[in-house]
Amino acid sequence: MYNEIVTDHFTHPRNVGVIENADAEGSVGNPVCGDYMTIYVKVDQGRIAEARFQTFGCSAAIAASSMMTEMVKGKTLDEAMTLTNMDIAKALGGLPQSKIHCSVLAADALHAAVREYRKRK
């Protein structure tokens, strides 16, 4: 059902965990499927220096969270806000149509974290 990239990011997720004293975090969930994710970011000179995640959900949700954290490191906050769910799905080599919502959650959690950071600053 899943390609090699999705399987790799699910079985060997990158950047799992909490960032202590994170500059911001964003949490989103989907009550229909039960997926829930929180993204933590550290920002240095306007760029995302570190991103970590905690995801409760299916393998596609974990893979999307993992890929998103890899994609966003080093990006400016404006660049992070332009990252779409389709960018994440494409980087994963595609997701089944029934799992696209997982990439939506990852993008939404990232955008929530950036909005929180901007609100705090």
Catalytic residue IDs: 33, 102
Q: Please, how many CA atoms are within 13 Å of residue 34, restricted to the half-sphere of its CB?
A: 4
- For residues 105 and 113, the answer to whether their CB atoms sit within 8 Å is no
DSSP letters along 41-74, please? EEEETTEEEEEEEEEES-HHHHHHHHHHHHHHTT
| Listed residue (38, 60, 63) closest to 51, CA to CA | 38
CA distance 79 to 14: 21
DSSP designation for 92: T
